[in-house]
């Protein structure tokens, strides 16, 4: 499970940075993005998807979390 950093770019889009790969992608969709739950499956612009354990509320960004490839 790689550590990833989630942040917002200057356009307000969520970004997903994988340090181990030195790869940054824009988040296309986030399974849970509400006031009571945040996380779940994340789809990225390169076609890959990852899973973040859901948090009880949206986090203050930037945040570093552990993620796993969807389906693992």
> Which is more confident, 23 or 71?
23
The 10s digit of each residue's pLDDT in 11-39 is 999 999 998 899 999 999 999 999 999 99
63 strand-pairing partners: 6
- Containing 51, the helix (H) or strand (E) segment is strand 49-55
Residue 70's pLDDT band (boundaries 50, 70, 90)?
confident
Instruction: Indicate which CATH number applies to the domain containing 17.
Output: 2.40.50.240
Q: Output the pLDDT for position 72.
A: 58
Number of domains, the chain: 1
CB–CB of 67/4 below 8 Å? yes
In whole numbers, what is the pLDDT of the chain averaged over residues?
95
Query: How confident is the model over 45-69, as a mean pLDDT?
Result: 96
Strand, helix or coil for residue 21: helix
């Amino acid at each position: 499970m790689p550590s990833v950093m989630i942040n917002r770019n200057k356009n307000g889009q969520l970004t997903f940075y994988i340090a181990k790969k030195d790869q940054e992608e824009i988040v296309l969709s986030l399974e849970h993005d509400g006031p009571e739950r945040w996380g779940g499956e994340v789809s990225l612009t390169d076609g890959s998807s990852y899973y973040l354990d859901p948090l009880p509320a949206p986090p203050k960004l930037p945040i570093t979390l552990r993620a796993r490839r969807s389906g693992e």
